[in-house]
Each structure stands twice: as structure tokens, then as C-alpha cells.
Chain A
Amino acid sequence: MSITDQTPHRELGLTDAEYERICELLERRPNRVELAMFSLLWSEHCAYKHSRKLLRRLPTEGPQVLLGPGENAGAVDVGEGHAVAFKVESHNHPSAVEPFQGAATGIGGILRDVFALGARPIAVLDSLRFGELSSQRSRYLLDQVVAGIGHYGNSIGVPTVGGEIYFEAPYEHNCLVNAMCVGLARADRMVRSAAAGPGNALVLLGASTGRDGIGGASVLASAELTEGEKRRPSVQIGDPFEEKKLMECCLELLDRGLLVALQDLGAAGLTSSAAEMAAGGGTGVEIAVDRVPLREADMEAFEIMISESQERMLAVIDPATADEVMAVCDRWQTGAAAIGQVTDTGAIRITRQGETVAELPVSALVDGCPLYDLEPEQPDEWMYGNRVGLERGIDPDRVLSALLASPSVASKRWAFEQYDSIVQSRTVRRPESADAAVLRLDETGRAIAVAIDGNGRRVACDPYRGTIEAVLECAQNLACVGARPLGLTNCLNFGNPERPHVAWQLERAIQGLADACEELQVPVVGGNVSLYNETEAGPIYPTPVVGMVGDLPDPGRAAGIALREGDEIALVGPFAPSVAGSELAKLRGDLGPGLPGASIGAVGAAIELVRDAVRTGTIAAAHDVSDGGLACALAEGAICGGVGVEIDLDRLVELRGASGEACLFGEGPGGLLVAGPAEALDTLGATGRDGGVDVIAIGRAGGDRIEISAAESGVSLSLEDAQRAWRSLRPG
């Protein structure tokens, strides 16, 4: 009989080879509790077994980097002894199962990642993907996900300052919910997650432990218990009130210098937190599961170890300070239980009523998982289909209206008005008023800007170039408010990496991310990988989402997107518009592989030019050209400013050799609209000439129509009609 017969490892997602490897590492078979622990820590989610090798390509260093990948979140120096910590993470699957709670607990999880470092969360951004809004299911998911994000973020007092939402058919059965949190800490006070000092106590803070999120591992439950019972609920319920108290409690413990280490409990619960803390400290841990406060009395040891109950943190403290720690927890009405200690054994030992129920080398759990090479293969053809929503040959005015009303382009006011974007009194630029959120930091006398971007459709067209574009767009957004990038975080949402074409997409996307970050000198300080995003209907668009944090000296000078009557308008950068992969191509059912390339260096030069100009305070408005092309970008600035535009794109047509239609609606990186007094744009033009950056005067703001001529084509739409189209997004 083979070693792999008659064990439930396959139901737990471990391959036979992985199971055999576990037996080799242990020199015996794992018991049920141990197998449960392995199955979770060796999952894709925890072990990154299909992506870790590729992720080594990413540049992670820079003088400003204080914490890089591997910690709960990355952190960069923002001066005056302060650090900004940030991370983006996915909560896709839970949101597809129960969208309100899935999204809510996604926010809860990313907040904990940030305050685990001792940083107070100061902002949340979300990147959401749903199927087309024509589908009732998508409308329901949108409605519930937005409500869930608002419920958690609003209740806990962290502003949701920005984000993006795209609607594309490939997300119909697999929505994406990525959330990014940004926190502020004193640089010298940040807590590591490494469990140091054998003899120190492990304290479990926060909520009690229930059977939340056990789902798949329930095959391990003793037969007597499961028989006749309904399937265990595996939906996790978020409790923002509990988390608010937990957060304030952790931050006060930190302020008082009472924490040796802190780690949140996320996927794989106690097992993952304890093992990672021990691995980080080169120590071991001992946990008595009978000391874990339970919500249901009859839980088995393995259930306690892998429960994903929310709003819990694991702290390492000096036992001499236990009374003081308990007093702080009492004050915040936060649960605290000493559940074990740090040891020097290099093992994680779990006991129940004094008996050992599991004992594993930490290294086997954390580093023992085999890492896989991918077998990438470029697909021959476009695999996502095409649907015609807009006939060819209709007049450009109607094209512009259709693009503005297209849910991915349209204003997301309906969603962001459901989020508190101003609590904590830092928000200088609110959602949709500028390309990036701007938060003032009175602690440093400066400000930060934050943006999140990622257009999966364009990545599907060309994973390498599409991912570069996502990084460039984020940097462009930051430039528009005058910010210089400090660091980047990312969430790679892809299908099954064991499929050759998905492997190819993943490999090319990571290479694009690496090349763009390298050339723009933006270090990647953290990230998250979410694979297997697919159903029988097929995989999602490959969707790398990048979040970027930048620094700016004077938040009062951050440009918004609203145009002002009389301002001159110029287009800055090497923007070479093409209809390939654009919103227009999608509406026409013209999608296919391939995107034109762009020089990262040339776009970088344009970014610097705009950033520096915004910092002088002479630029009234700045807006990058993105979904729906120049016409949509101009219309957005016009609608927000309540003023029309008179634009002539002939010069662009001539310079780029593109058609009028492509100049109106085509997309591509490296296009930044700036507006301001004529003298300011003249100065910008002169600086641009010296630096080899195109600054093309294209017109001015005025009147009450959007009038754009572009060689053979042109649009003329009343501001009112444009506004009606752009403000049409309603899921109900």
C-alpha cells in the first residue's frame, strides 16, 4: 500500500508528492491536526508556490524603504521620523460567496495587516471588478460589495479615499475585491512580526474563536461530530466595532512599549500567524489550544488552529508586563488570553490539556513547501470573446456619450458617496476630484498621494505592456497631484497558473511590473497573489492591480481635474493613442491580442515635468488620459469644472500620424492633460522643449459644450448631455 493511500490530503488540496514530502520532512506521517496545518500553510495563498520564484524579479530596494516584502505590509520613510505602511490584498473568493461580508472582512483584514506594524490606518482604497452591469448578478454583487466596504471602513473610522471599478464579462463568475490600506507610524516605533525572546508570552487579542472559514478542512472533523449535522458555516462575519477596539488597543499597547511583536490572524488563522512569527524570530512557539477563548465549546484542536475568525491579533509580550497589558485590553474591552509562549526549539507545539496534539518544525511548515516552475505558453488567439455593444460608423458625438456612460468610464459617485472619505481630517483631495487621493500629514508638514490602478482588459491584450501601463498610470495619477512615488504594492489576480496561457500571462505581467518599477525607480515593498480566479466559464482577465504611495511637499497645490473657465489646456507626454484594447474597441467588439508599446523613459520624463509644474502651484488642473481616451478625459474635467472645452487635436494627429478617431477615443500611456493660465503653460512648454517632452497646446476651457475637432473627425456635445451620460451609473 502506498504511503498516500487513505489519507484525506487530496481533499485538503495537497498533492501526493506534497504529502510524501511532508512525511519525509517529519520522518513520519502527520496526524490530523498537523495535516490541517500543512494543508493551509502549503496552500497557494500562504506559500505562493506558483509565484514565489517569479516574484524574485521585482526590485524591492530603495533608500526610502523601511520594510520590504515579507512583513505584514511594506513601509517607506516619509520624513521627520515617520513612515507610511501600505499593502493591497485580495478577498475575491469570500466576496463571490457572500459579497457584503466578504468585502467587509476584506477591509478588516487589510487594516489588521497595517496596524500589525504599529501604523494607524489613515486611508483605504479599493479596486473592484465585476461582470457587465447588464447582469443581475453583477448588479447585486456591486451593490453588496460597496455596502460591505462602507459598513466596515465607515464604522471603524478609516476614510475610503479612492479606488476604481471595472465591469467586464470575464469577471461575471469571479468578481475581484482588492483593498489597499495605508497607515502612518513613527518610524522608530514600528513593530516587527518576529517572535523574539524564548520565555516571552503569546497573547491572543480580540474576538473569540469560532468555526469561521474552516470550510474545506471540515473533512477532518471527527465522524461522530459531523454526522447528522448541517455543513458548518464557513462564512466569516465582520465586526468593525470589535476591530475598532482591537486597533485602538494595539496602538495603545505599542505606544506604551508593551509589544515585542505583533501579527494579525488572517488566512490559516493561528497556524499561520504563530508559524510565521516563529520563523521570523528563528524561534519556536508553544500553544495550549484549551486557553483559546472559543465561541463554540466543542471545537476540535485542528479547528482552533486553522479558524479564520476575524478581528484577532497575536502579540508577543514580556510576561513581566502581563498585568499592564491586561489593563490596557480591559480599558478597550478587548479580549486577551495568554495562550502560550515563545520557545527556542524551532518547533511549533500544540497542546490540549497538557497533551501534545501537534509538533512540527517551523521550517517545514513555512519554508518546506515545494516551489513550482510554471510552464508558460503564449496563446495563439484572443480567448475572451467579443460582444458588440456599439455599431461601427455611428457619429462621434454618440460614441462619446456611449463611452462616458460605459460603466467602467462613468463616474463612480454612486459608490464613493457610500464611503466616509473625510474622517481623520487628512483628506485634501476627495474621490474623483483629483487623479490621486491626497492626505495631509501634519506630523511631517508634508502630504502623501495614493492611487490604485489596473486595467485587466489591456493586460489581457498584452500582459507585459498592459502591466507596464498600470504602473505608468499610477505614477501619472501621482504626478497630477504633484507627488513623487515612494513605493508600490500590488495584487496579482490571475487564473489557474497550471494552465500554460495563464502561466504565460503571469510571467509576462511580473516581468512588466519589474521593468516598469526598475526604470521609474519605484521599489515594490509588498504585495499579494491571488490565483485560481476562474470557474467553468473560464478565467478572469489577468488583473495585476498596483497601488502606489507618493510624497508631495504642499497639499494645497495638488491639482484637481476640474477645469476653470478661461484656462488654456495642453497635452503633455509621448501619448500615441490607439484604439487597440480601448474601451471603444470593447464596445465595438474589436478586442484582440496586442497593444502598441511605449517608452517607459519617455513617459517617466513627462511624469516628472508635470509633477514639477504642479508643485510650483501654477497648474490649475491635471488629469491623465485613461479609459475612453482624450475625449473622455476632457469631458470629465469639463463636467467637474462645470465649463465646456474648445479643443483642436490636429497637431496631435499630425505628430503621431494617428487618425482623428484614435486621437479622440484611443488609449495608451504617457498622456497628461494640464490646464492653467497661458503663461504657466508657456513656461511648461519651454521646460518641455529643453527636456525633450512634448507639450502640445490643444485648446481652452470655456462655453457650455464639449467641442473637439480632430482631423476628419470631431465631437460636439452639450455639457449637460455629457454630464447625464457620465453620471448614469446606478446598479439598481
Chain B
Amino acid sequence: MKAKILIRPKQGILDPQGKAIERALPALGFEGVSGIRVGRLVELEAASTDRLAELCEKLLANPLIEDYEIELENGG
């Protein structure tokens, strides 16, 4: 089945990328946008979902600094 895995910096962990984008916005005329956090979206197809969490822990995300969410498609 297909799965989408959303990886984001953990709450409280510095997100330099999000911060840099946020700071650049006013100069471009985008006011009132804040709280930007930049993550990654990984799409994959897996025969079984059994080890998806392990895959995230070991490779896709760095559990020390990132959280992940697994979203299953095709009804999961």
C-alpha cells in the first residue's frame, strides 16, 4: 500500500530553515505569516506496514530532533 510520511522538526528544536524563510517574507510583502516549520514528505509503497515505524526511526527521521507521522492511503 501507499504511505505518506511527514517528517518535521520536533517542537522546541530550532528550525533554521523555517526561521530564515519567515524572516524573508516581510520584504516580499507577505505580512502576518509566522510559525513556519519546514519538514519533508516521503512517499512510498510498502508491502506491509509492520516495519514502517522502524523505517522512520532508523532512516527517514532522526528521532532525536524530528517527529514523524505516517499516513496510509488506500484505506490503510
- B14 at the A/B interface (Cβ < 8 Å)? yes
**Please, which residues of chain A bring their CB within 8 A of the CB of B62?**
98
Let me know if A295 and B16 touch, CB within 8 A.
no
* Cα–Cα, bound, A163→B65 (Å): 29
CB A361 to nearest CB in B, in angstroms, measures 33
Interface of A is mostly: loop
Chain A residues contacting B28 (CB-CB under 8 Å) are none
Q: What is the interface size of chain A, counting residues whose CB is below 8 A from a CB of the partner?
A: 21
Q: Which of B9, B20, B65 has the most CB of A within 10 A?
A: B65
A239 B14 Cβ-Cβ under 8 A: yes
Whole-angstrom distance between the Cβ of B10 and the nearest chain A Cβ: 5
| Contact pick for A309, options B14, B19, B64, B65, CB 8 Å | B14
**Interface positions of B (Cβ within 8 A of A):** 9-10, 12-16, 19-20, 23, 62, 64-65
**Bound-complex Cα distance A309 to B65 (A):** 14
Q: How far is the CA of A233 from the CA of B11 in the complex (A)?
A: 9
**Which of B10, B13, B14 is within 8 Å of A207, CB to CB?**
B14
A237 at the interface (CB under 8 A from B): yes
Q: Does A212 contact B (CB under 8 A)?
A: yes
The answer to whether B16 touches A242 (Cβ under 8 A) is yes
- A7, chain B: closest CB distance, angstroms: 27
Asked if A233 contacts B16 (CB within 8 A), the reply is no
Q: Is the CB of A239 within 8 A of B12?
A: no
Bound together, the chains give a CA A310 to CA B10 distance in angstroms of 17
Q: Tell me, in angstroms, the Cα distance from A232 to B64 when the chains sit together.
A: 10
Q: Cβ of A239: which chain B residues have Cβ within 8 Å of it? A: 14, 16, 19
| Nearest CB in chain B: distance from A100 CB, A | 8
B13 touches A235 (CB 8 A): yes
A374 to chain B, nearest CB (A): 35
A333 on the B face (CB < 8 A): yes
- In the docked arrangement, what's the CA distance between A716 and B20, Å? 57
Chain A, 220-236, CB within 8 A of any chain B CB: 232-233, 235-236
Contact in complex: A237, B16 (CB < 8 Å):
yes
A211 at the interface (CB under 8 A from B): yes
List the B residue with the shortest CB-CB distance to A309. Answer: B14
Supplied contacts A212-B14, A233-B64, A242-B16, 7 more A-B pairs, CB within 8 Å:
A210-B13, A233-B10, A233-B13, A235-B65, A236-B14, A237-B9, A239-B16
Q: Within residues 284 to 337 of chain A, which ones have a CB less than 8 A from any CB in chain B? A: 295-296, 309-310, 333
CA of A212 to CA of B14, assembled, Å: 8
Residues of chain B with a CB closer than 8 A to A659's CB: none
> Of A98, A207, A232, which is within 8 A of B65 by CB?
A98
Contact call A210/B65, Cβ cutoff below 8 A: no
Which of B12, B20, B23 is in CB contact (< 8 Å) with A295?
A: B12
Q: A239-B19, A241-B20, A333-B23 are in contact. Are A97 and B64 (CB under 8 A)?
A: yes
> Would B65 and A237 count as touching, CB distance under 8 A?
yes
In the bound complex, residues from chain B placing their C-beta under 8 Å from that of A101 are 65
**Does A98 contact B12, Cβ atoms closer than 8 Å?**
no
- Asked if A237 contacts B12 (CB within 8 A), the reply is no
Closest CB in chain A relative to B48 CB, distance in Å? 25
B59 → chain A closest CB, angstroms: 11
B13–A237 contact, CB under 8 A? yes
**CB distance A98 to B64 under 8 Å?**
yes
Q: Which residues of B contact A207 (CB under 8 A)?
A: 14
Whole-angstrom CA separation of A101 from B65 in the bound complex:
10
Closest residue of chain B to A299 (Cβ to Cβ) is B12
Establish whether residues A237 and B64, one from each chain, have CB atoms under 8 Å apart when the complex forms.
Answer: no
Assembly CA distance A310 to B16 (angstroms)? 11
Q: Could you tell me the distance between the alpha carbons of A241 and B19 in the complex, rounded to whole angstroms?
A: 10
